[in-house]
Amino acid sequence: MPVLLATIHTASTEAARKAPSVGTAGQRDMVALETKNLSRVVDGKVLVDDVSVAVQTGELLAIVGPSGAGKSSLLRLINRLDEPTGGTMMLDGQDFRALAPRELRRRVGMVMQMAYLFPGTVAANIAFGPRQRGEIVTADGIAALLERVGLPGYQERDVATLSGGEAQRVSVARTLANAPEALLLDEPTSALDEASARGVEQLILDIVSERRMTCLMVTHNKAQAARIAPRTMVMARGRLRGIGPTEEMLRDC
């Protein structure tokens, strides 16, 4: 079966901390992903503290802040790798607790800082997610995904032989094989050299543009945030400190 990705429409917005804006009147239905007072406290340590933000369909939102600000913890809550101790997240208006975790993670794909690939071939890695749901990605589908991420002919390569940049591209292809509606990217280029990082960055920009996918990208690199994201949210000590046009946010943080 061909690999299909959801088509969604682009909109931009600015959001306030406690009552996130969702654009102009009549655009409420264009919010793809929204957190409402989302929090996580573990053994008395606050990891995420009362974060409310709305992300429009098709928007690429950067998340910046110092180490320990709660950026990665927020993505883990959205992907339900961790459970919140307060608040919730809405996906297309549906509370994520109403979705089975596996279904949520199919619809909201996540790419980590390091590409955690399974031992074996590139093709086996790409086919893994759909196979868990009893679906098959055809050889043509795998070839098309690899072509798209700039790795034509890599189907039978052993993942152990890949460079860091190649492995991260395979990780992106594996995520796209699940036909997600949104992408969560947790510093996907920080472990790469400059050339590889720029290549993966451009790949992400191209895919988000082509597929008009909602994307949240954590980055420690302010220059990268300025290159990729019209809007940026700033976090510190688990809290949302500001959200708005990237140039303005980076100037003030």
* Distance, CA of 85 to CA of 157 (rounded, Å): 42
Minimal CA–CA distance to 212: which of 2, 4, 20, 6? 6
Q: Which residue has the tokens 């008009």?
A: 212
0.75 surpassed by pTM: yes
Q: What percent of the chain has pLDDT over 90?
A: 75
| Structure confidence by residue, pLDDT tens digits, 139-186 | 999 999 999 999 999 999 999 999 999 999 999 999 999 999 999 999
* Distance, CA of 154 to CA of 209 (rounded, Å): 24
Residue 22 has pLDDT above 90, yes or no: no
What six digits make up the tokens of 127?
A: 């086919």
CA 125 to chain centroid = 19
Compute CA distances 32 → 29, 56, 157, 194, 249, whole Å: 8, 5, 36, 32, 22
* Distance, CA of 125 to CA of 2 (rounded, Å): 17
Residue 51 has pLDDT above 90, yes or no: yes
Structural domains of the chain, with CATH: 28-252 (3.40.50.300)
Q: How confident is the model at residue 113 (pLDDT cuts 50, 70, 90)?
A: confident
Helices (H), 177-221: 194-211
| Structure confidence by residue, pLDDT tens digits, 57-105 | 999 999 999 999 999 999 999 999 999 999 999 999 999 999 998 899 9
* Distance, CA of 131 to CA of 153 (rounded, Å): 21
Q: Which residue has the tokens 């019209």?
A: 230
Q: How confident is the model at residue 12 (pLDDT cuts 50, 70, 90)?
A: very low
Residue 122 has pLDDT above 60, yes or no: yes
| Structure confidence by residue, pLDDT tens digits, 205-224 | 998 888 889 999 999 999 99
pLDDT at residue 31, rounded to an integer: 87
Please compute the mean of the pLDDT values over residues 116-126 and round it to a whole number: 95
* Distance, CA of 135 to CA of 144 (rounded, Å): 17
What six digits make up the tokens of 6?
A: 């959801």
| Structure confidence by residue, pLDDT tens digits, 226-251 | 999 999 999 999 999 999 999 999 98
The two beta strands, 239-245 and 231-236, are antiparallel
